Chains A and B, each alone.
Chain A
Amino acid sequence: MIKFSRYILVATGILVASIVLPSLFWTIFEKVPRSPNIFYSTITEDFVIVDGSKKKNPKGKEYTSEEYEKILPFMFFRQLMADGTMPDSINGVLMEAPSISRASSFYRYTPKRTDSPVPTLWPMFESQSGKVNLSMPEDYFRIEKRMEFIVARTNEVNEEKSSLFTSALAEEGFSFPAKIIAGIPTTRKSCDEGYFITDDAGALFHVKMIKGQPYVVRIETPEELDIVYIEAVDIRSREYYCYVFTRNKGIFVVMDEVYDLQRLPVDGFNPSIHTFRLTSDLFNKCITVMGSNWYEAIAIDDMYNVVATHGEEWEDLYERPDGKMFASIFPFEIRMRDDNSSFVRFYFKPSPGVRWLIVNLLALIAAVVLIIRRGWPLRSNIPDLLITAVTGVYGLIATQFFPNKFSKVKPPVKN
């Protein structure tokens, strides 16, 4: 029992050391990782890569700030108009501020989105109130065994409204409870389109409230989609309602009114680790999919056809000097937070390669020396030595912090 209590302490010590020491290391040594922004220029019909303060094309030609603004006229049209350098028309289309800003949108997905705690109560707005401004409803809905509206003031279920919506959902074949509920729960949007909801079977529904009545559409999905995330967007062009991220079939947008699922030309997207960006202008959309040390940029036209692609790869964390240094000292690290999640977990990150073996060996030698100097027999300290050999610096610290007093001590040598 007492020996057991010591190993618990040693394990706790290793846990704490493997959280604290790496975090200290990174605070001191971490270099800013590369994180370029990629745009597509209708003017040059090529990508523009913004990397830190440098702007260049895929072949490496650098742009000055003026050139940069000129080849991205939709991004900088206010500046260009003020300067009087905005072309009157591009590709035969007249350049007018309202149409430019209506067409431009920006969306960014990070893996955190799919791995975050989500609210389970949502406000259902009246989408055709006849008023200019949206107003906050007095109740919130949840979809568990049925769809329920709870009035905030009384904290009681509005039975009438709840059964109305529950039966409307059931009529469309909704199987309770809901898995994903996605909407824009704010009155600060141009209009309300309600919620996009997947049911227990993974089917996709559009639910909103029109003049107090439920409006439910079962959206036909082309294949067995494993939907992991939906994000409703409020884009001014009203081209599509939402993005649908799947684990097996890539990324879709649900087209406005017609409910067609338009697949974006992105392959091999992993929503758990990849970032997705989409910038849109009058003529093109530029999609960037980014991993930790690479990106793939895809430009598409308004018919979602690919017009250009470009990719780059660079040194991964453990190929960089700071990462290399880390991997030659620490055998692993534990983090409580991760860039790809909002959840707190024990994120175990083993160091690649075997360079840390040298430090582990040194730690082991240090442990042996300390044991011998104290006159403890090596034999009864084998578990400590094994722990040190495997966990390196962490184990050495933990076993010294909680010393092994269970081994019989040899009397000191008399001088």
Chain B
Amino acid sequence: MYAIECKNLTHYYGKKLVYENLSFNVEEGKILGLLGKNGTGKSTTINILNGFLQPFSGVCLIYGENTQTLTPETKRRIGFLIEGHIQYSFMNIHQIEKFYSGFYPDWNSAPYWELMSKLKVTPKQKISTMSCGQRSQVALGLILAQDPDLLILDDFSMGLDPGYRRLFIDYMREYAKAEHKTVFVTSHIIQDMERLIDDVMIMDYNKILAQQPVEQFMNTFRQFNITLNSPGQEVDLDGIAVNIEKVKDKIEFYTYSTEDEVKSYLASKGIDYSSFEERKMSLEDAFIGLTRKY
């Protein structure tokens, strides 16, 4: 059973293509991370999912309903964290809790107050005067109190210091797994992300570069470093590598091939190298390897 199904999404801004025929699903109970550099269409996808954007073609379904025309019942099952932890910052934490509780019959304020009790804020302090980290806790607390089945978190790590980011991720992971929640999260900061997500979807301009369980991706996507014997040699790695970085005689390349496959490929191309090394990568390394540095 899928919580989110997007089929053949195509969208343009003016004449600029964002993506074409993008399809993906999010299984219930899974945490999917949509990772990509700025401007690759993460926000576009979030906006389509929330019905704030009508794609040129294609359709997104949440719990079987077109996201352009979500019913209040379905919206009640979706928790939405806006990029930058935007909330009604003209309210204080009591007012905002009172406001939201009116919309959700199953409102459970306990986790909200638990998080709030850890913040060093005064009861009458407006959210606008809080730090970014404190605001993220307010936004998170509200979503937890709402107790939605699907959480859509848009670039939640933006502006958070490492401590708050780690706190947020660990709390979210534990909560989602314990309560069997589905989470759709986007981020352009990859650090710590492997602690949170089950599946990864890496987006580049106009296309999806990878879409698979994060464990599988980490196990199959590899980085190799070789040193050439003659720096001037023409090297053709296009057959196996998805990304190559060459500095003088040192070559870094990223591939889905195994060590054996790479070695036999190098031999078949007659490439003469002195050292050969596979580098262990974090998700962030892999992300940069896949999407290139620039």
Contacts and interface: CB of A to CB of B under 8 A. Distances in A.
A contacts B directly in the complex (CB < 8 Å)? Answer: yes
Nearest to A410: B56
Contacts of A411: 10, 12, 56-57
Nearest to B57: A411
A411 B56 CA distance: 6
B15 interface: yes
Interface residues of A, number: 3
A52 interface: no
Interface in B54-109: 56-57
Interface in B14-41: 14-15
Contacts of B14: 412
Nearest to A409: B56
Nearest to B10: A411
A412 B12 CA distance: 8
Contacts of A409: 56
A412 B10 CA distance: 11
Contacts of A412: 12, 14-15
B8 to A, nearest CB: 12
Contacts of B56: 409, 411
A73 B56 CA distance: 86
B29 to A, nearest CB: 35
Interface in A387-415: 409, 411-412
A411 B13 CA distance: 10
Nearest to B15: A412
B48 to A, nearest CB: 15
Nearest to A411: B56
A409 B57 CA distance: 10
A409 B13 CA distance: 12
Interface string B44-58: 000000000000110
A411 B17 CA distance: 10
A411 to B, nearest CB: 5
A389 to B, nearest CB: 29
A412 B15 CA distance: 6
A404 to B, nearest CB: 14
A146 to B, nearest CB: 59
A412 B14 CA distance: 8
A370 to B, nearest CB: 15
B98 to A, nearest CB: 30
Nearest to A415: B15
A91 B12 CA distance: 94
A102 B263 CA distance: 126
Interface in A238-284: none
A39 B78 CA distance: 87
Contacts of B10: 411
A149 B56 CA distance: 75
A403 to B, nearest CB: 14
A409 to B, nearest CB: 7
A84 B287 CA distance: 111
Nearest to A413: B15
Contacts of B57: 411
Nearest to B16: A412
B1 to A, nearest CB: 31
Contacts of B15: 412
Nearest to B11: A411
A411 B10 CA distance: 9
A307 to B, nearest CB: 79
A76 B57 CA distance: 86
A412 B56 CA distance: 10
A411 B19 CA distance: 12
A146 B12 CA distance: 75
B169 to A, nearest CB: 38
A338 to B, nearest CB: 47
B109 to A, nearest CB: 36
A415 to B, nearest CB: 9
A412 B57 CA distance: 12
B138 to A, nearest CB: 33
A263 to B, nearest CB: 74
B13 to A, nearest CB: 10
Interface string A328-372: 000000000000000000000000000000000000000000000
Interface string B126-168: 0000000000000000000000000000000000000000000
8 contacts: A409-B56, A411-B10, A411-B12, A411-B56, A411-B57, A412-B12, A412-B14, A412-B15
Interface of B: 10, 12, 14-15, 56-57
Q: Which 8 A-B pairs have the closest CB atoms?
A: A412-B15, A411-B56, A412-B12, A411-B12, A409-B56, A411-B10, A411-B57, A412-B14
Given A411-B12, A411-B56, A412-B12, 5 more contacts: A409-B56, A411-B10, A411-B57, A412-B14, A412-B15
